[in-house]
Amino acid sequence: MTRAAPTTLRPTTPKEVRDAVLDTPGRLAITGAGTARHWAGRPAGVDATLDLSGLSGVIAHNPGDMTVSVHAGTPLRALQDELAAHGQRLALDAARVARGATVGGLVATADAGPSALVYGGMRDLVIGATTVLADGTMVRSGGHVIKNVAGYDVAKLMHGSYGTFGPLVEVVLRLHPAPRATTCVAVDGPVDRAAEHVLRLMASPLEPIAVEWLSGEPGRLLVRLEGGERTLPARVARLVELLGDGAREVDGAAAWDAHAALTAGSGAAPDAAVVRIGCAPRTLAPLIGRLPATAVTAGLATGVATVTVPATAVPEVHDTVAAAGGTSVLRDRPASAEVPAWGPAPSSLALLRAVKTRLDPDARFAPGRFDPWM
């Protein structure tokens, strides 16, 4: 069958999303702001694209309960601006938020930033969701309470699904108070030295919010602290003393912007690819040393890193990470590169396929995203 050029549908209400799913035959790719368009497997054999960027806006913000429900296409950056007026925030600082990433997209790609060390990723912040399935069913789970064990946590299933079960249309999130004061302490040095700092730091009572190492000459460890305006200086002093080695307070905004740029692979060679990896935290520094990385951001306390490597080395990265007991997924890559998006399949692959079959029996959604797994 010859395929016509894929159509793009831009629904602006949940009902329009449902209608679009029901009225459009064939396979659907799902997109929001497009900031993760090239992540994971490439959409393949798509008949139409469902663009959710028009499905945007806050549905209900309950400041007293610290919950908010939003349409899935809402850019997180815009949401944070609204929440800030109430002294609240969604405690998620993924690198691509500044580039307009949407709430639904951040859930679907299981993205997270440095503060995942304390607050977790989207999976830990999502307390409810509504999704449209291939047969037009709108499934809702969770709600506006942070503690909830009623029914299966379907929102978790959507986390990391890359749209493969259907488009999210509504997401309910738990919020946190915005910190009164935030600061950043940096210490320069290579990754193995940084790993030793992190070991001592995590054994200390200083409660860092984020701990990330950035590659460079010689590399730099960033530590974020949050707290009260009056109390933070004393903790900074304790942190600087603990790290020693020339540790000092730096301009946090600039430091974390540099981190975000490096995580996104900005400025990398045209033939470079970006791979996200995860492993046990103490395994990370030695693992990074074995990868042909040209740029790295490494959460030495979380075990999550983003590495820029030559695209041709991606299979080797998957293998090396898997051998260390870790997981890996391809993020950005050159348009021409034909490299595997995922490492070895997990032991739960048959189960994952069974879930896909039950929810999307004709495999209409996000074809290719989990290639070659399913």
Q: Enumerate residues 252-281 that contact another protein by CB under 8 A.
A: 276-281
Are 309 and 317 within 8 A, CB to CB?
yes
63, 82 Cβ separation under 8 angstroms: no
The only residue of 58, 78, 146, 258 in contact with another protein, by rule CB under 8 A: 146
> Based on CB atoms, which residue is closest to another protein, 13 or 231?
231
200 touching another protein, by CB under 8 A: no
What is the spatial distance between Cα 348 and Cα 352, in angstroms, rounded to a whole number? Answer: 6
Residue nearer to another protein on the CB measure, 40 or 56: 40
- CB count within 10 Å of CB 94 equals 25
In degrees, rounded to 5, the angle at the alpha carbon of residue 118 between the alpha carbons of residues 116 and 122 is 40
CA 26 – CA 267 distance, rounded (Å) = 38
CA distance linking residue 374 with residue 132, whole number of Å: 20
Does 110 sit near another protein (CB under 8 A)? Answer: yes
Q: Is the CB of 179 or the CB of 310 nearer to another protein?
A: 179
* Nearest residue (CB) to another protein, 180 versus 290: 180
193 token code pair: 């030295």
Q: Which pair of tokens denotes residue 105?
A: 């997209």
**Which residue's CB is nearer to another protein, number 64 or number 270?**
64
Helices then strands, each counted (H, E), the chain:
12, 18
59 part of the interface to another protein, by CB under 8 A: no
Q: Is 358 in the site for another protein (CB under 8 A)?
A: yes
Q: Smaller CB distance to another protein: residue 56 or 279?
A: 279
| Shortest distance (Å) from residue 373 CB to another protein | 7
Interface with another protein, residue 368, by CB under 8 A: no
Residue 289 contacts residue 201 (beta carbons within 8 Å): no
- Whether the bond between 6 and the residue before it is cis, its omega within 30 degrees of 0, is no
- Is the alpha carbon torsion for 52, 147, 98, 339 positive or negative? negative
Residues 301-340 that bind another protein (CB under 8 A): 302-304, 325-329
Least CB distance to another protein at residue 113 (A): 11
Q: Does 157 bind another protein (CB under 8 A)?
A: yes
**Among 218, 231, 245, 254, contact with another protein (rule: CB under 8 A):** 231
> Minimal distance in Å, beta carbon 235 to another protein?
6
**Counting contacts by CB under 8 A, is residue 64 touching another protein?**
yes
